Every structure is written in C-alpha cells, then in structure tokens.
Amino acid sequence: MSPATLRDRIGYAFQEPALLARALTHRSHGAAHNERLEFVGDAVLNCVVAAALYRRLRDLPEGDLSRLRANLVNRDTLAQLARQIGLGALLRVGEGERRGGGGERPSIVADALEAVFGAVFLDGGYDAARAAIERVYGDLLAEADPEILGKDPKTRLQEWLQARRLAVPEYVVAGVTGVAHAQTFAVHCRIPALGIETAGTGSSRRIAEQAAAELAHARLAGADGGSADV
C-alpha cells in the first residue's frame, strides 16, 4: 500500500509529510520514532470518541460511557482497524523486528494508528483529527451499542449460558506456533451441553479465546433465531 492509499483511507493529506513518516516509524527502526506522536494521538482519540458517544447516547450515564469508550480505544480494536486500512504494510521497523513479523504485531500497529491520529492533529488541528478518526472508525463508532459493545465475547457468551442455567464454556489451547515474540495461539471453546465447539486464533491466548467465544456466540445467535442476547 502507498501513502496515497493511506491518505484516501483516513481522508487526510498531510501538509508536513515528515509527521506521517515519523508516525509510521517504530522505535526499533531509529531514534526518530512514533512514541511521542502516539502520546498525542491517544489523548485526541479519547476526546473524539468521548464527544461522539456523548452526542449519540444522550441518556447514558458516565460509567457506561467510560466503559464504551474503553472498548473502542483499546489495543485490540485499534489493531483491528489498523489492519483494515493496511497500516502494517507502511510501518518502518527494525530488521530484527520485521523478521519476527513485528510490522503486524497488534501492539505495534495499534500504537502506530494512534500516532497517525496524533500526526493529523498536529498537522491539521482538531477538526482534521476528528474527521480522520470518525472515518477510520466508521460504523463501529456510529452504531456503538451500549448493550453489547462494552462486553467482550467471552462475557456475552457466559452471560447467555448462565441465563439458561448452563455451564460456562471450556477453553483449551490446541496449539502455539511461531517464535517467542510473535506467537500465534489456537484455542477451542467447548460447550458440551449444547454439543458446540469452535476454534479461534490470535497473537495471545486471551485474543484466541475471545475469537473462539465470538464464533460460539454467533452460532447460538443463529440457533436462537438471530439473537443471542441474554
């Protein structure tokens, strides 16, 4: 992917391209890395998401707003969005980090996306950063559901089962591949009472468990007429 493609995907053209270059540089590549921009981007992202939730969910109390915001700005969500816009292909990382797949590691791509938001803010101001964030987040932000978004897949699945007096799922690690700093975990989610078993993968056991739980929850939704809500 080219920087021009990234420009189209975030909806912003930099007046100072060096800021974007820095945002896309991991500390393993050199001293002019993106951590300071990440610091700025984190603050701007939290502000934009908080304001959007405040405007859209007018009756939701502060605690629930905080829970929703935390879910939208966490590392997993940022990494997912970074992959969707192809950010990993543009990152500059050190040779050792690249050999280990560092350009696609969730923590690295998530931090880089925050750094890009920070760079947009410094280059074009708050309105430009807000527009870029809202463009990248798209429907994820516009359609945030307070009944679902603050609960991760494992929690939703467990609550569905407990509401029907069924045992909580079993999670079993089926395998781990890759080098120590770039591993991929495979986990099975089993619900013996319903004869359901799903498999998920991820860069950590927790992420793989969440992926497997998401598949199990979706299967229950299909069997339940399209809704697996408690």
Active site residues: 42, 114
Q: Is 32 helix (H, G, I), strand (E, B) or coil?
A: coil
Contact residues for 148 (Cβ-Cβ < 8 A; gap 6+) = 156, 229
- Nearest C-alpha neighbor of 118 from the set 3, 1, 16, 5: 16
C-alpha distances in Å from residue 74, one per residue of 69, 123, 170, 175: 8, 24, 25, 26
Dist. CA 215–CA 203, nearest whole Å = 17
Q: Which two tokens stand for residue 58?
A: 């007018």
Q: Letter for the amino acid at 126?
A: Y
According to DSSP, residue 122 is labeled H
d(CA 38, CA 45) in angstroms, rounded, equals 10
